[in-house]
C-alpha cells in the first residue's frame, strides 16, 4: 500500500516535466511575440525613414507569421514610388517575403517574386525585369544599415515600350554587396562595394555585346553620406565637392579568351570630368580592342593594337601572355600609356 506522502511525490514527479514544458512554451511564445514586435517596429521605422527620403513603400496586403521559430512578413503586390527622382518612378513586383530569426530580429532576409515593372509615375511600364531567384539581406536596419546584399539568378531585363517586350540584357548570376566601413563612425563616409556577374549579355550595338561576359569588382567608395534619391548630375556634383573617390582594388572582365584586370582610383575634376588612373593588364587584347572599337576605322584599331603591343609591358594573366599599361584620365582627357584616346564630356 502506497502512503499519502509517496503518492504526492509520484504526482510531482509526473507533473514537474509537464510544468517545465509549459513554462518553456510560455517563455518561448513571449520571446517570439517580443521579437516580432521589435522586427515590426524596425520595419515600420525604416519605411517611415525611407518615405522622408522620397522612397514610399506599400503592400497590397501585409501578413505576419512564422511562429514558433522565425518571424515572417509577407507582402503581396509590393511597390516603391521614388518621388524625388526626375521623373518620379514606380517599381512593382509580385510578392515579397521577409524573414528574421527570433534570436536576431535586426537581420532580415527577403525573397522577391517577379516580374518587376518599372514605370514613370502615372505611365505604363517601360521596363520589366524577371528572374528565377532574387534574394536580399539587410543587416542593422534599426539605425544605419550595416550591410546590404542582393543575389539574382537567371535575371533578364526587357524594354516594354510600344506594348512589345524587347530583350535588352541578361545574366545567369548577379551579386551585389554593400557595407559601411568602420571609418564611417569617424565622420568619413566610406562604403565597401563588391559586384559579381556571370554569363551577362549586353544589347546589340554596345561594346562587348554578342558574347557572354563574366566580371567582378571590389571597390571602396568615399564621399557619399546622403542616400536620398537625387538626379544623377546633382549627386555627382555633390560627390565631387566632397572630394569623393572610387578606389578599385580589383576589376576583372572576361569574354571568351579575352581577359582584362585593373586597379586604381577615379574621381571627378572641378569641371565634372573623370579624373584618375588605372593599371590595366589585358590578355587576348587584340580581340578585346576589336570589340571595343568595332565602329572605328580599321586603321584606328590596328594602330591601337600595334601601339599596345609595342609600348605595353609584358605580363601574364592565368598563365597566358598579356600586356600591362596605364590608363590615365586627366580632367577627362584619356590616354592608354602614351596613346591618346580622346576627351570625355563633363558628367554634370
268-297 pLDDT, tens digit each: 999 999 999 999 998 876 565 555 555 554
Closest CA to 107 of 142, 65, 61: 142
3-state secondary structure of 112: strand
3-state secondary structure of 90: strand
pLDDT tens per residue, range 50-77: 888 788 999 988 887 877 778 888 899 9
b/e per residue 252-267 (b: at least 16 CB within 10 A):
bbbbeebbbbbbbbbb
Cβ pair 84, 121 in contact under 8 A: no
What is the residue extent of each domain of the chain? Answer: 1-179, 181-348
Q: Which of these ranges, 14-23, 234-243, 267-276, has the smallest mean pLDDT?
A: 14-23
Torsion sign over Cα 276, 282, 288, 293: positive
Residue 92 or 14, more confident: 92
254-257: which pairs have CB atoms within 8 A and are 24 or more residues apart?
A: 254/213, 254/214, 254/215, 255/208, 255/211, 255/212, 255/213, 255/214, 255/288, 255/291, 256/211, 256/284, 256/287, 257/283, 257/284, 257/287
- Which residue do the cell numbers 570625355 mark? 344
- What pLDDT does residue 173 have? 97
Q: What is the pTM of this model?
A: 0.78
Amino acid at each position: 500500500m502506497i502512503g499519502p506522502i509517496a503518492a504526492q511525490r509520484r504526482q510531482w514527479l509526473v507533473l514537474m516535466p509537464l510544468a517545465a514544458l509549459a513554462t518553456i512554451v510560455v517563455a518561448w511564445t513571449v520571446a517570439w511575440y517580443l521579437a516580432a514586435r521589435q522586427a515590426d517596429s524596425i520595419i515600420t521605422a525604416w519605411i517611415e525613414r525611407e518615405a522622408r527620403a522620397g522612397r514610399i513603400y506599400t503592400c497590397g496586403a501585409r501578413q505576419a507569421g512564422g511562429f514558433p521559430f522565425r518571424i515572417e512578413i509577407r507582402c503581396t503586390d509590393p511597390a516603391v514610388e521614388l518621388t524625388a527622382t526626375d521623373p518620379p518612378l514606380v517599381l512593382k513586383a509580385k510578392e515579397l517575403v521577409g524573414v528574421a530569426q527570433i534570436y536576431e530580429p535586426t537581420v532580415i532576409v527577403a525573397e522577391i517574386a517577379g516580374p518587376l515593372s518599372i514605370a514613370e509615375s502615372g505611365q505604363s511600364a517601360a521596363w520589366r525585369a524577371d528572374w528565377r531567384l532574387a534574394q536580399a539581406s539587410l543587416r542593422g536596419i534599426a539605425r544605419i544599415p550595416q550591410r546590404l546584399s542582393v543575389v539574382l539568378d537567371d535575371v533578364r531585363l526587357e524594354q516594354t515600350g510600344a506594348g512589345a517586350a524587347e530583350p535588352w540584357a541578361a545574366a545567369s548570376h548577379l551579386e551585389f554587396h554593400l557595407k559601411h566601413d568602420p571609418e564611417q563612425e569617424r565622420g568619413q563616409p566610406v562604403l565597401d562595394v563588391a559586384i559579381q556577374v556571370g554569363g551577362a549579355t549586353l544589347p546589340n550595338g554596345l561594346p562587348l555585346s554578342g558574347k557572354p561576359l563574366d566580371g567582378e569588382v571590389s571597390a571602396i567608395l568615399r564621399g557619399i553620406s546622403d542616400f536620398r534619391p537625387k538626379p544623377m548630375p546633382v549627386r555627382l556634383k555633390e560627390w565631387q565637392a566632397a572630394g569623393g573617390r572610387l578606389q578599385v582594388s580589383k576589376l576583372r572582365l572576361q569574354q571568351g579568351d579575352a581577359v582584362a584586370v585593373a586597379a586604381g582610383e577615379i574621381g571627378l575634376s572641378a569641371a565634372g570630368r573623370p579624373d584618375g588612373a588605372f593599371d590595366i593588364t589585358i590578355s587576348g587584347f587584340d580581340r578585346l580592342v576589336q570589340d571595343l572599337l568595332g565602329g572605328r576605322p580599321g586603321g584606328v584599331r590596328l594602330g591601337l593594337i600595334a601601339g599596345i603591343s609595342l609600348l605595353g609591358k609584358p605580363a601574364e594573366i592565368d598563365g597566358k601572355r598579356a600586356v600591362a599599361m596605364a590608363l590615365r584620365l586627366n580632367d577627362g582627357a584619356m590616354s592608354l600609356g602614351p596613346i591618346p584616346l580622346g576627351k570625355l564630356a563633363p558628367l554634370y
